[in-house]
Amino acid sequence: MTATTDIVAKLWNLCHILRDDGITYHQYVTELTYLIFLKMAAETGAEDQLPEHHRWADIRKHQGVEQLTFYKELLIHLGTYGSAQVQAIFQNAQTSLRQPRILKALVEAIDGLDWYSAREEGLGNMYEGLLERNATEKKSGAGQYFTPRPLIDSMVALMQPKAGEYVQDPAAGTGGFLIAADRWIKAHTNDLWDLTEAEQYFQRHNAFYGMELVPDAHRLGLMNLMLHDVSGDLQLGDALSEQGTRLHKADLILTNPPFGTKKGGGLPSRDDFTYPTSNKQLAFLQHIYRGLKPGGRAAVVLPDNVLFEDNTGRDIRRDLMDKCDLHTILRLPTGIFYSQGVKTNVLFFTRGRTDKGNTADVWVYDLRSNMPQFGKTRPLTREHFIDFEAAFGPDPLGKAPRTDEGEQGRFRRFTREQIAARGDNLDVTWLRDEGADDALPEPDVIAAEIIDTLRTALEEMEALTDMLGSDEDADGAVAEAAE
């Protein structure tokens, strides 16, 4: 066991103490973020970012109720004072702790960790290990913000981010894509030393940016970026609102947008979308291909419904294939996300120089059929993507020579004409999933699928209720005006 995994295990085991205080797993990781930030500032000599008398040693000075009271005041103070980075991480921060003994246990446990070894192995690796542990805990619900690292690393390796490029994630979560892109560029530029001083400045301050809607996920993302020495501009906001229009055009977009429909059935408040829709994935897809520079590329995780949904979905797919070269679709195996039943894909595309006829062929790689069920007992690894990466080829634009493996293989080519004949349905399958008819999914998979179905139905009912309410309000206003 490495020092990093040992520290993560010790930190995670502390969550059992918090059950007595009614703290959820996700709240616990947020709580740890506050305390770890303060402790690491003390360990790394970076306490000049913090206002005096609001540092780790100051928490240690207090005991009992006085310590908890001071800690609550400290969180509010750090959200207002200190460096911009400190204020962003502690913005609207508040503790979920109610018992002084719980805070004391956390402070003493964090104080007792092997911080020297953690620094040697990388504080970012430690924090990311904690986020991954949280994401794999079914009770936390945090997996919705966490894309499996093997998948992220594979997408980044295929897209090959380059120094000097703007890299965007409009649904950044905990910042995994931006961090992986930074790691790739540093690995291919001798940790940026091969670049000029101006190029180094761009990479450190301007190359990476994005947006995250959920305040807690945004906070975790800021912390994760900081610990990986990535000074990206991660904004708190909604990319499907007017805020999204302020994200400048990107050379590369890497993202895993949230699944589902917009709460209340409302439409994105974006006047630049040709096809308004309450389906968040379809709305994000429009943001992505419209947000690319000519020649810019994207790799985006999307659920199956984006590939086959009729009406607006079909219109958006046509628009995508007109404006971009949608050269590759990867059908992902099931069980790799927190919602076990969800079926997902990665779409790889390049923005055209014109807005018409950019897609000639779409290559589909089926990594789902006849694959094992992934989960806690069988984790997804980078090795599972080796064959796909070899079939994809070394060109990030998808132009490397490829081989159609036929009906028995996993990689097939479909012309734009063939797709049009299917009504622009991209949900293409050809392999028979052996054993699919013989065995039921695991109970947690079935339960997850039922929950997803009920959630979608509830959201649609809420949307209908809002629409009827709006109509009644309008009728009432007309009646009042008539009187």
What is the CB-side half-sphere exposure of residue 13 using CA atoms within 13 A? Answer: 9
Characterize 313-346 residue by residue with b for buried, 16 or more Cβ atoms within 10 angstroms of its Cβ, and e for exposed.
bbebbebbbbbbbbbbbbbbbbbbbbbbbbbbbb
According to the per-residue pLDDT averaged within each range, which of 45-54, 65-74, 463-472 is highest? 65-74
233 φ, ψ (degrees, to nearest 5) = -95, 90
Four-CA torsion 303, 307, 308, 311, nearest 10 degrees: 100
Got the DSSP string for 293-331?
EEEEEEEEEEETHHHH--THHHHHHHHHHHHEEEEEEEE
Alpha-carbon span 56 to 41, nearest angstrom = 8
Alpha-carbon span 482 to 349, nearest angstrom = 55
Angle formed at CA 117 by CA 114 and CA 118, multiple of 5 degrees: 80
Q: Give the list of residues 6+ apart from residue 58 with CB closer than 8 angstroms, or none.
A: 70, 74
Res 133: pLDDT? 76
Q: 141 in the Ramachandran plot: left (φ > 0), alpha (ψ -120 to 50) or beta?
A: left
With cut-offs at 50, 70 and 90, classify the pLDDT of residue 129: confident
According to the per-residue pLDDT averaged within each range, which of 109-118, 162-171, 378-387, 430-439 is highest? 162-171
- How is residue 142 annotated by DSSP? G
Res 469: pLDDT? 58
Counting every residue, how long is the chain?
Answer: 483
- How is residue 190 annotated by DSSP? T
The structural domains of the chain, ordered by start, are: 3-136 (1.20.1260.30), 145-421 (3.40.50.150)
Residues 328-356 pLDDT 10s: 999 999 878 755 567 899 999 999 999 99
Q: Which residue has the higher pLDDT, 339 or 235?
A: 235
With cut-offs at 50, 70 and 90, classify the pLDDT of residue 460: low
Q: Do residues 224 and 146 touch, judged by C-beta distance below 8 A?
A: no
Residues 357-408 pLDDT 10s: 999 999 999 999 998 877 777 888 999 999 999 999 999 999 999 999 999 9
According to the per-residue pLDDT averaged within each range, which of 78-87, 106-115, 206-215, 468-477 is highest? 206-215
Q: What percent of the chain has pLDDT over 70?
A: 82
Q: What percent of the chain has pLDDT over 90?
A: 54
Span 162-172, average pLDDT: 97
Res 141: pLDDT? 45
Please say if the pLDDT value at position 477 is more than 70.
no
| Model pTM score | 0.83
Alpha-carbon span 434 to 437, nearest angstrom = 8
Does residue 63 sit in helix, strand or coil?
Answer: coil
β-pair partners for 183 = none
Got the DSSP string for 458-483?
HHHHHHHHHHHHHHHHHHHHHHHHH-
Res 450: pLDDT? 60
Res 362: pLDDT? 98
Average of per-residue pLDDT values in the chain: 85
Question: Of 169-178, 213-222, 359-368, which range is least confident?
Answer: 213-222
Radius of gyration of the chain (CA): 24
